[in-house]
Structure 1
Amino acid sequence: MADNLDPTDWAILAELQRDGRLPLTELGRRVNLSPSAATERVRRLETTGVITGYRADVDLAKVGLTVLAVVRLKYPGSSHQPLHQLLAERSEILECLRTTGDDCYTLKVAATSMGHLEQIIDELAEFGSTTTNVVYSQTLPYRGPRKLPTVAGTGRGAER
């Protein structure tokens, strides 16, 4: 699908990632399209699954989740359903990535206090050994891709 995205599509994606509530007339103005053309482009990006949804970014501290941590989990078993059940139940676990290397999973966890974080880690430790890093600050919040990176020397987008 990346080969089918032109610079205008990437500009639309960048604008909508900055503000998912941007009115289509304003989006069109920012990317030099008529409102109807912008609407059509957005619908195509949604239909093809490039845009998978819209969400609100929440300030964790303002909702009482003042401790943010990255937890790595070594999961020795092959039945991952019990972990998936915990992930579904614990809203404090914001993100979970299955990874290669020594750790099987990397999780982003928000907690109200160090004690609360400890409770979550204790639950995760039932599945395997954990390594926890507390986040001091978020230098670069998740922003999503703005354009397809080019591969050095080819002038083409990176193959995935």
Structure 2
Amino acid sequence: MRLQGTEPGLDALDAGILSALDRDARITMSELARLIGMSAPGVAERVRRLEAAGVLKGFSAEIEPRALGYAIRAMVRIRPLPGKLHLVEKLIDACPNIVECHKITGDDPFLAQLVVRDIEEMDGVLEALAEHAVTSTAVIKSQAVRRRLPPLR
């Protein structure tokens, strides 16, 4: 990716901005500027350029599902039955317990992450898919790697 006014890729300042925002998306432009060693208007302009280039897509809150009572997280591979792909995709989209889903290659076209309060709730979510798809579920025990930025340089 080429940002206007820079060489191909990100420079060290852009990488520093992205790293700081990844650690704390609520940081003020003044504090970000102090961390990066720039003026607040300069940092704000770089953030705007990163947004305009599609590198920085937004800011979000990181929620802990357990604090909301969701004791179980699981990854579910979902294989729609023949002719049911679009229906299963709609069912996945409509299920609030599925908090993330990717279309993937291989035998199972969907890999979903779900959060539930207990095994009975998980059974209910999976049973809603069972008429139209085959599922394979793995309960998440812990997070070995927190979501992180890809290499920036």
TM-score, normalised to structure 1, is 0.84
- Change in 2 beyond 3 A, CA 1:30/1:139: same
Cross-structure match for 1:84:
89
Q: Any runs of at least 4 consecutive aligned residues in structure 1 with deviations exceeding 3 A, and if so which?
A: 76-81
Amino acid in the other structure paired with 2:119: M
Q: Distance in 1 between matches of 2:102 and 2:82?
A: 17
Q: Distance in 2 between matches of 1:53 and 1:32?
A: 23
Alpha carbons 1:71, 1:132 under 8 Å: kept: yes
Q: Secondary structure at the match of 2:91?
A: helix
Per-residue CA deviation, residues 89-140 of structure 1 (Å, 9 max, x unaligned), is 2221111111111221111110011110111111223332111000111122
1:45-124 paired onto structure 2 within 5 Å: 45-77=50-82, 80-124=85-129
Gaps of 5+ in 2: 3-7
In the alignment, is residue 36 of structure 1 matched against residue 79 of structure 2?
A: no
- Change in 2 beyond 3 A, CA 1:31/1:126: farther
Amino acid in the other structure paired with 2:55: V
Q: Distance in 1 between matches of 2:83 and 2:58?
A: 31
Deviates more, 1:139-148 or 1:128-137: 139-148
Q: Distance in 2 between matches of 1:126 and 1:37?
A: 56
Q: Distance in 1 between matches of 2:148 and 2:131?
A: 33
Cross-structure match for 1:13:
18
Q: Secondary structure at the match of 2:73?
A: strand
Q: Secondary structure at the match of 1:4?
A: coil
Q: Identity of paired residues, percent?
A: 32
Amino acid in the other structure paired with 2:32: L
Alpha carbons 2:51, 2:57 under 8 Å: kept: yes
Alpha carbons 2:80, 2:88 under 8 Å: kept: no
Q: Distance in 2 between matches of 1:74 and 1:90?
A: 16
Alpha carbons 2:84, 2:132 under 8 Å: kept: no
Cross-structure match for 1:22:
27
- Please tell me the root mean square deviation across aligned C-alpha atoms, in Å: 1.8
- Change in 2 beyond 3 A, CA 1:124/1:8: farther
